[in-house]
Amino acid sequence: MEITTVGELLHWSYSNLAMAHSAITAKTEKYGRTQFMIRSRLYAGLNKQTMNIGPLADDERLKMLLPQACCYCGSREYLSVDHLIPTKRGGANSGDNLVWACRSCNSSKCAHDALEWLAERNQFPPILLLRRYLKLAIEISRERNLMNAPLAEAYGLPFSLSSIPKTYPLPSQLRLWVVELD
């Protein structure tokens, strides 16, 4: 499958995210028929606009329930807030864009794109963090009317299109969140 537009890329990654989330929840070692069907149906539905991504409000509620820890390393010490999509790159200065980060990760990440920064450390983001990131990226792309823009012509986005994952590791290599959930 060839991905040519911003919307196709974001929808494909979000659909893979749903597939991965399903596999992790089901505690499967590999992706199975059910997960591939979830990805296929969601991708088609998002592209045809018969389905939508979940609201950011779901992630805000989840933020209140998850253990208060750095979303990058899991530390519970010296926490501050970090803009997932940096304001210096054009990310919003809003609660939707704020995550917990320890002083060390926040300082190291600075104004880097979160996905690029994690990739430099050979880390795939926790599924729930990636979900928030993708929702923000989709929202920004919609606001800027770039969902149908060819990838090569999408300039000035506050996030890195090249860091959006097209493929996901096996479920056994993924984490739902940065710390173990009960």
In a domain, 114, yes or no: yes
Whose tokens are 């990226």? That residue is: 137
Q: Answer whether residue 178 is part of any domain.
A: no
Buried b (16+ CB within 10 A) or exposed e, 88-109: eeebbeeebbbbbbbeebbeeb
Taking CA atoms, 116 is separated from 63, 104, 176, in Å, by 22, 17, 19
Which token pair is 52? 């939508």
CA dist 106 → 84, 91, 112, 113 (Å): 10, 15, 10, 12
Task: Answer yes or no: is 86 within a domain.
Answer: yes
Total-model pTM: 0.94
Q: One-letter amino acid identity for 73?
A: C
Rounded-to-integer distance, Cα 142 and Cα 145, Å:
5
Kindly report the number of other CB atoms within 10 A of residue 146's CB atom. 20
DSSP string, 109-166: HTTS-HHHHHHHTT-PPPHHHHHHHHHHHHHHHHHTT-TTSBGGG--S-SS-GGGS-S
Check: CB of residue 76 under 8 Å from CB of residue 67: yes
What is the mean pLDDT, run by run of 10 residues, along the chain of 182 residues?
95 98 95 98 97 90 84 95 94 92 95 94 95 96 96 92 96 90 60
Domain assignment present for 21 = yes
pLDDT for the residue 181: 65
Domain count within the chain: 1
Instruction: Tell me how crowded residue 4 is: count the other CB atoms within 10 A of its CB.
Output: 12
**Amino acid identity, position 4:** T
Give residue-wise pLDDT tens across range 130-170.
999 999 999 999 999 999 999 999 988 999 999 999 999 99
In whole angstroms, give the CA distance from residue 132 to residue 123.
17
* Domain-located, residue 180: no
Domain that holds residue 61: 6-173
What is the reported pLDDT for 113?
92
Does the residue 181 lie in any domain? no
